[in-house]
Amino acid sequence: MSIPEDSKFNTGLIISKYRSKDIVSLLPLLAIEFPDWSLKKIKSYIDIVIEGKNDVSGILVAKNEALYNVGLLVYTFQQIQNKQISKTNGENLSKCLVVENLVASSPVLQKMVFLLLIEEVIDIAKNHNCELIELPKLDGSYQLVNDKFNGAVIDSGNFRTFLDLNKISIPKKSL
């Protein structure tokens, strides 16, 4: 079994960055996330994400011990207007890692896969000096994320939720 050097093991799952232009192994997950998209449109979207530099966008995958993809997270870095965190310099723009897409292959694994992918994205965000992570609205699928990072969760009152990285104490490291 060949495991990429930049992988992280967690509870039998391997979390790693996805850099290949070959999306065949991702198609089952991408088909769940984009059921109405053509293969051409999916490939074009993934090409844009992968061709972006590490400081613009990326993809994380969660694999089981058999190296089957069980989870996928697509992220971008953006500057967002931040009313939740007051800043001493008067500026209210914050560097934010935005989780664009998050999907798991199995409802049984979903909560754990989401937690592990979010933990890894926290490391990436901290290494890129982000202040926030923008997530989809936290529902039951994110129970473990909400439980673990409850003090850092900012509910925006709409379809997105934020994690305040200043309230999460995980040391910086690189994937």
Task: Report the 3 state secondary structure along 58-98.
Answer: EEEEEECCCCCEEEEEEEEEEEEECCCCCCCCCCCEEEEEE
pLDDT value at residue 40: 94
Assigned domain for 47 exists = yes
Assigned domain for 28 exists = yes
Assigned domain for 174 exists = no
Which amino acid type is present at position 88? T
pLDDT value at residue 24: 92
pTM of the model: 0.83
State how many domains the chain has.
1
Assigned domain for 172 exists = no
Residue 92, φ and ψ in degrees, nearest 5: -120, 30
pLDDT value at residue 139: 75
* Domain region containing 29: 7-167
Question: Residue 78 is encoded by which pair of tokens?
Answer: 């953006």
Residue 168 · residue 131 · CB < 8 Å: no
CATH of the domain at 75: 3.40.630.30
pLDDT value at residue 51: 81
Q: What is the pLDDT of residues 59-75, one digit of tens each?
A: 999 999 899 999 999 99
Q: Which residue numbers in the chain have pLDDT < 70?
A: 1-11, 52-55, 82-91, 138, 170-175
pLDDT value at residue 143: 77
Assigned domain for 2 exists = no
Assigned domain for 108 exists = yes
Assigned domain for 175 exists = no
Assigned domain for 20 exists = yes
Maximum Cα interatomic distance, the chain, rounded to a whole number of Å: 52
